[in-house]
Amino acid sequence: MDIRDDSLQKIARRHWYNFVDPVTKLLLALFLTMLSFDFTPLYFEISLVLFSLTLLLLSRLSKATVNAVSFCLFLIVTMVVIQGLFYSHNVHPLFSVMTITFYREGFLYAATMSARILIIIFAIGFFMGTTTVSENAKYLESIGMPYKLVYLLMSVCYILPQIQQNLSKIQFVERARGINPQKTVMQKVRSILPILIPLIIKTFDQSINRSITLQLRGFDRPERTLATPKYPYFKAKFSHYLLSIVILLLIGCKLWQIISRFL
């Protein structure tokens, strides 16, 4: 029995998205973002939104993505309103409510930017929903990233949920103790110090201990056994090269668009 592999995952069927490696997924997100910057017709933007949404729906729609969309929704609405009313190139009225006129140009401008934001959210959501922290860590190490960096990136992913837990505990205790409602901003800021300082000292102490432990446990030694990727991926290297080249071309293209405006 292989004790170090999650046996549940072995039984579970491999999905199509498990054949795509994490780096390709990230490059894909970057590629879609660059496309939306290079080609701005609204129909094209909408089809990109639909494409990335399809990717997401065919894999896993995580709660985080839904949260991200709802988080941005308010901003998108205000953006449409502000640009529809005040965009500097506004000429053609789109519609009027009472005496307020919305303009076509501003509306289109805001719609393009909103589409871009949705594309980024969906493409990143696809990456996040279909990979796990340990899969990413193993893959990055296997393609030659120094273990120190892999550790750094991944430990952040692990520390956030822990901190979240600590925080809700503290907030619970604080609520039970009953803090007086504070009036001014300064009073509010001062009221968090008695909680914040011990928490910060504890957090830094844990990092000191962890750094000692890691050194004692032979972290980052040259003879470390390289991790093997969790899944065999389909044409990983080829996809990296292809996507990187296309992304570079798109960036070059965008830069040329900007420069040629000044020529």
Binders of another protein among 229-258, rule CB under 8 A? Answer: none
- Rg of the chain in Å (alpha carbons): 24
Comparing CA positions, the residue from 38, 33, 58, 55 lying closest to residue 115 is 33
Give 158 or 238: the residue with its C-beta nearer to another protein: 158
CB of 248 to another protein, least distance (A): 18
What distance in Å separates the CA atoms of residue 32 and residue 120, rounded to the nearest whole number? 8
What distance in Å separates the CA atoms of residue 206 and residue 199, rounded to the nearest whole number? 11
CB of 200 to another protein, least distance (A): 6
CB of 19 to another protein, least distance (A): 21
Q: What distance, in Å, lies between the first and last C-alpha atoms of the chain?
A: 67
Q: Among residue numbers 94 through 113, which ones bind another protein (CB under 8 A)?
A: 109-110, 113
Give 47 or 165: the residue with its C-beta nearer to another protein: 165
In the block, residue with structure tokens 């009027």: 96
CB of 80 to another protein, least distance (A): 9
Bridge partners (DSSP) of residue 96 are: 101
Give 15 or 148: the residue with its C-beta nearer to another protein: 148
Count of residues that bind another protein according to CB under 8 A = 86
Q: Among residue numbers 153 through 212, which ones bind another protein (CB under 8 A)?
A: 153-160, 162-164, 167, 171, 182, 185, 188-189, 191-193, 195-197, 199-201, 203-212
CB of 153 to another protein, least distance (A): 7
User: By CB under 8 A, is residue 148 in contact with another protein?
Assistant: yes
Give 47 or 228: the residue with its C-beta nearer to another protein: 228
Q: Among residue numbers 52 through 71, which ones bind another protein (CB under 8 A)?
A: 64, 67-68, 71
Q: Which residues neighbour 48 within 8 Å (Cβ) at sequence distance 6 or greater?
A: 32, 35, 36, 115, 119
User: By CB under 8 A, is residue 83 in contact with another protein?
Assistant: yes
CB of 235 to another protein, least distance (A): 24
The interface region with another protein, picked from 10-18, 39-47, 83-91, 243-251 by CB under 8 A, is 83-91
Sole binder of another protein in the list 43, 144, 218, 262 (CB under 8 A): 218
Bridge partners (DSSP) of residue 100 are: 97
24-53 footprint of another protein as x/- string (CB under 8 A):
------------------------------
The interface region with another protein, picked from 39-47, 53-61, 143-151, 229-237 by CB under 8 A, is 143-151
